[in-house]
Chains A and B, each alone.
Chain A
Amino acid sequence: MNFLNVSKVHHTYFSKEAATEALQDINLSINKGEFVSFIGPSGCGKTTLLSIIAGLFQPTLGTVKIEGQDVFENDDLSIGYMLQQDYLFPWKTIEENITLGLKLLKKENHSIASKLLKDVGLPPVEKKYPRELSGGMRQRVALARTLAVNPKILLLDEPFSALDYQSKLKLEDLVSEMLKEYNKTAILVTHDLGEAIAMSDRIFLFSPRPGRLYKTFEVPEEIRNLTPFEARGHSSYSSLFQLIWKELESLEQ
């Protein structure tokens, strides 16, 4: 039994000028505890697919099921969604930001904030406001906010792309380590091919206009067991990089 099942998903955006087909016949499944990445040129619908999996909107056709339950019909299914920017609420303290999800789900628990801050490698900054923290720290807080509700699945929509390189590498290691520790399933959407290889177990390559699942790559066992930082230095890393790179190039022509 697969953890996540996407079957026959089509999605079309309608506007006054045109109907744009964003996704065409997407079928994929992900196992529990697996880390997968969606990559592909812009316009390949990877963010659209992520939003559909998150239950933010319904696809034109098809179904998405997590543990056999439809993501739209189930209200207490918790999904963790991390965006490109942290989107911490500037008028809330760090603690209020982290416990926001719990507050909305009426499961308030204040002690969790300090524990999560420690887990994501931050000093006790509960009473501070987001503007007092650096970009990397804020994205860590956003990760803590996402984990606070104990989500079944984590959806990462280019969460590292707005960070400087050093923070990005550190945060990749942190996220990868935490997901393994909590045995969470995660989907990462990224433009960064290296990041996808270093972090994932499997990589889904999408082709654009309309978005279709073009190819799936298995990341070799020896890289999977390394931290993302170490993986980047491994010899199989560059050969996989070359392989996917060529596929990407051919798609863009």
Chain B
Amino acid sequence: MNNNKLHQQFIASLVKEKRWVRFYQLLILIAFFSLWEIASSNRWIDPLIFSSPSKVYTLFIDNIADGTLFTHISYTLFETVLGFIIGTLLGTILAAILWWSPFLSKVLDPYLVILNAMPKVALGPILIVAMGPGMGSIITMGAIISVIISTIVIYTSFKNVDANYLKVLQTFNATRLQMFKEAILPASFPTIISTLKVNVGLSWVGVIVGEFLVSSKGLGYLIIYGFQVFNFNLVLMSLLIIAVFATIMYQLVELLEKKLIKNE
């Protein structure tokens, strides 16, 4: 048998494996929703609390038809994306400042630890009183929850860039800004991307909690409203929509990763 044929076989086996993976993934999805539906309609679980896929679906169609759902989704999505971008950007900038001034980083070290350990959502009430019960405070919440951990992780990555790269730049008389641009930042892109991935989840938490506290629009509001009027169809529908959009955001970050990191 020649190499070409063996290679063909190898590729065929890869394709086959991928198909089986997809098959089982789909199977789990279908099994989950079917089981949920059956359990609910047979009252193995309380349909009032756990709802059922068919009820969620009916509600979803109704809400799309009357146009309210679209407003809620776009509201929350806007807040989350903005909170996510601000959080990561601010984290990167803070990390750059700490890298720039080793003295400042030594001074601020314990404060970063404290701020990181503190549950940021507890700041919610203060934010809302200070900034007013609007979109601003919710976006801030989405950003604040990720900014400190981003700063710490990215700063650590800045510090761990191989000093020999800097040595190379130094022999070319590079300034500190050039060192940052040519070596420190690009070498840390993989870390920044992985913080982005973590921040996708964190920003959703921040925004939803923010909406719990104050909002009159958005998916977080729908959840808390559904809870108050004991409409768990609404709660579960919002949850499923959040899951879908969080996944899409995550996929977009992965797309960015492929674009940005060409060398691996």
Contacts and interface: CB of A to CB of B under 8 A. Distances in A.
Nearest to A83: B164
Interface stretch (A62-70, A98-106, A197-205, A224-232): A98-106
Contact of A105 (B165, B173, B189): B173
A83 B172 CA distance: 14
B63 interface: no
B170 A104 contact: no
Contacts, number: 54
B168 to A, nearest CB: 5
A76 B172 CA distance: 9
Interface in B161-204: 162, 164-165, 167-174, 178, 182-183, 186-187, 189
Given A83-B164, A100-B182, A91 B171 contact: no
Chain A residues touching B, majority SS: loop
Contact of B171 (A80, A129, A131): A80
Contacts of B187: 91
For chain B, what secondary structure do more than half of its interface residues adopt (helix, strand, loop), or is it mixed? helix
Given A91-B263, A129-B262, A81 B171 contact: yes
Nearest to A151: B171
B164 A131 contact: no
Most chain A beta-carbon contacts within 10 A, residue among B162, B182, B187: B182
A76 B173 contact: yes
A104 B178 contact: yes
Given A87-B164, A87-B165, A79 B171 contact: yes
A145 to B, nearest CB: 8
A87 B172 CA distance: 14
Given A56-B167, A89-B186, 6 more contacts: A87-B167, A91-B261, A101-B171, A104-B169, A104-B172, A105-B173
Interface of A: 54, 56, 75-76, 78-81, 83, 85, 87, 89-91, 100-101, 104-105, 129-131, 149
